[in-house]
Chains A and B, each alone.
Chain A
Amino acid sequence: MADVHPIQVIDLSKQFPRKKGLGTVQAVSGVSFNVQQGEIVGFIGHNGAGKTTTIKCILGLLKLSEGKISLWGGAPADSKIRKRIGYIPENPDYDDSFTPMEYLSMFASMRGLSGVDEDWMKLLKRVGLARWETTGIRQFSKGMRQRMSLAIALQSNPDLLIMDEPTGGLDPIARKEFREIIIEENRRGASVFLSSHILSDVETICNRAVILAGGKLMAEGSMEDLLGEEHLYRITVVSRKTGEEVEETIPEADLQNRIDALRRDNLPIVKVEMALKSLEDVFLAATGKDSQ
């Protein structure tokens, strides 16, 4: 059944009124994709591409201008459905006057969870806040607030984790720990929808990726499909103008033609080597930023 995906977005469009003057700004336009059960889907795009807007539409924080969103076939506003979600917002913040333990206890009560303080201690230990359980959140750094946010998201053992830039601003060790937790949660059975700027993270842990640019869907598919089986080659030539070495990456099919063209132009070829295609290449190609 197609409509029981954890997330199904069909022709989503969202407009906002302009801050100055009349008219609207099109933040997202005709976006469709889905997240299937047990997948980790990366959601990538440059700043202002519409990622956070899409996530907020999925969570019911924004009204849709057009289109339809269903979570396990139901409406995002349905409280039973929302109980199955763990959410990490971008740059999360919490009331300064509470400690992590107080926050977790209150969130547990609001969610109707039956955990006790020991459970929340284990959770804080898991996200790396074991020593800080009774410290006021006002003393927390950005990274610690991200960890706090992860603890709250994981508290209910959610079936779906929606993460908006969860590793932004984290150091490499913390990023690695976050990645490991995401993989553990996925193994437990949770589907993950991960919005991130850090393409290497997405490439490492995601099964699929959705690429957004200018509010439009540019590419979508499994990592294998996106990275492709086609080999890429990197040709290094010496620029006639500057005398410096310049690199150019091209698909295998175009390799011979390109070498012939360079020879016709009498450009000295320094080397030709096989290049591994990265998600960055795919992203740049999909968003049209690789023309240079």
Chain B
Amino acid sequence: MKAVFTFSLMTLRMLFRKRTLWGILLVILLALAGIAAVPSFDVSNQGRFVLDFGLFGIEVGALLLALGLAANLYPRDRETRTLMPLIAVPLSRWQYLLGRFFGAALIQAAALLVTCLGLMLILLFHKLPIPGDLLPATLLIIVEGWFLLSTVFFFSFFTSPPLNWPLTTMLFIVSQMSVSEFVGILPSAPGLMRAVRMLLPHADVFHIKDPIAHGFEIEPVYFLIAIFYGLCYSAFMLSVALAVFRGRDLK
């Protein structure tokens, strides 16, 4: 695991030095500031509005970060041939994948925590209350971001980055749908659609912006189950990505 740890740090340092991270982070923070600038009817409603759309903004930010950080990692490694000396000698393919994933996941998590802090500052600036579940909600979004990151890695092993963006975004949207909504896309083949939906994640598990915005209490055990679900699904997605990667010839 030391090799994975070192390679994760290497990935983290590399991504930290790229402009992509800072660009996306700036866009999210500007969007959050923009949400707070929208005039609202009263103080209590503005609080809901800022929290609801703020958390939604952070969630979209998780998607942007996943794509911006990871969509080009493997294709670029192949194109520039930096992959060869890594895979040929010190690293196995699973170590390469995990190293890249953990590096990107750490930096994505740090960036999302910064956006959460940004949202808190905006709430404070507008003298709005900060709900206690805001940080746990951000943690759930971070886990959702890791699931998206694993999806980006999966697609990156057999598609180009321009195709990775719409595919991951499509999966992100589809995974929000209930089973009946999903079957409704192709009602003539309900069995097939049900089977496909079975393997797709249920991203609604990570959505707690509504209850937080409306002041509902969420049981701590739910956070634990949702985080466990997200981590397990990410592991599944990474294993499928690894299966694809292991089957590939590195010409």
Contacts and interface: CB of A to CB of B under 8 A. Distances in A.
Interface in B131-180: none
A110 B17 contact: no
B10 interface: yes
Interface of A: 16, 56, 59-63, 77, 79, 82-83, 85-87, 89, 91-95, 97-98, 106-107, 109-112, 149, 152
A98 to B, nearest CB: 7
A89 B251 contact: no
Contacts of B90: 82-83, 107, 110-111
B87 A61 contact: yes
Among B18, B82, B85, B88, the most chain A Cβ lie within 10 Å of the Cβ of B88
A69 B80 CA distance: 27
A39 to B, nearest CB: 20
6 contacts: A93-B80, A109-B3, A110-B2, A110-B7, A111-B3, A152-B85
A95 B92 contact: no
Nearest to A14: B249
Interface string B76-95: 00001110110111111000
B82 A97 contact: no
A139 to B, nearest CB: 15
Contacts of A98: 10, 13-14
A107 B14 CA distance: 15
Contact of B249 (A62, A109, A149): A62
Contacts of A79: 92
Nearest to B7: A110
B14 A91 contact: no
Contacts of A93: 80-82
Contact of B6 (A61, A62, A106): A106
B85 A92 contact: yes
B14 A89 contact: no
Given A85-B89, A110-B3, A56 B250 contact: yes
Contacts of B251: 16, 56, 62
